[in-house]
Amino acid sequence: MLYRAQDAQGTSRLGYAESPDGLHFTPHPDPVLIPETAYEKNGGVEDPRLVQFGDTYYLTYTAYNKQDAQLCLATSKDLIHWDRKGVILPANQGNWNVRWTKSGAIVPGKINGKYWMYFLGTSADGNDQAGLASSKDLLHWTEETQTPVLPVRPGHFDSRVAEPGPPPILTSRGIVLVYNGADDKLVYRTGIALFERSNPAHLISRTDQPVFSPETDWEKVGQVPNVVFVEGMIRRGSGFLFYYGGADKYIGVAQAASHQIPVAP
């Protein structure tokens, strides 16, 4: 598992931990990705999302220098040593995302000869919404649409934020994206969206109600209260394990049965 940790000054680094069962983790003593470049300094590196192609791991992460946050990429063969590939979607330069870029969730397979990635951008009205980018080589990315592909919805649990979670799942029914929604009070809950497999920009359906919400004290009280924020997911038996941040202070895991993910096969 890759995870974000902060020092006393609030600078973020990425740590690495191992587990024999997916539940009990032992952290590596040193961070595996630390702020080094100008676009990472003073704020740090955060929002890790991990996908593997062949023998190479591709890590999307947010670099924050206390001025801009922007989506970056690094690669590794062992999850410990990382090769930075730089900013892949710069801040303040998008089609509709006029501010920061974050949270890149790469689809784990080619579609129509290209790789695809859902990401977070901020529109002119101040809402954080999900967009779509494509790449021919996993290194150079181009925004695909003029509007968000997963917009916020007034009056719903995702009225203020619709942010990609873990890398999507490719199924026979479509592309399943677990995402993190926040309402106008910035309570973060988890939703699920289904996109057309042959057209990753086409949203087929999404959950009207969240599938996962803050319930425990450590999800409700912390650095940012009332947050469950899913960034990692694995299959386990007939269900899934969600790895998530609780109140921006803790890391938790939750087990979801297949029926709790209504668009999964």
Q: What pLDDT shows up at residue 221? A: 94
Residues of the chain with pLDDT under 70: 258-265
Q: What pLDDT shows up at residue 265? A: 44
Q: What pLDDT shows up at residue 260? A: 58
Three-state secondary structure of the chain: CEEEEECCCCCEEEEEEECCCCCCCEECCCCCECCCCCCCCCCEEEEEEEEEECCEEEEEEEEECCCCEEEEEEEECCCCCCEEEEEEECCCCCCCCCCCEEEEEECCCCECCEEEEEEEEECCCCCEEEEEEEECCCCCCEECCCCCCECCCCCCCCCCEEEECCCCEEECCEEEEEEEEECCCCCEEEEEEEEECCEEEEEEEECCCCCECCCCHHHHCCCCCCEEEEEEEEEECCEEEEEEEECCCEEEEEEECHHHCCCCC
Domain boundaries, the chain: 2-260
Q: What pLDDT shows up at residue 235? A: 87
Q: What pLDDT shows up at residue 259? A: 60
The topology under which CATH files domain 2-260 is Tachylectin-2; Chain A (2.115.10)
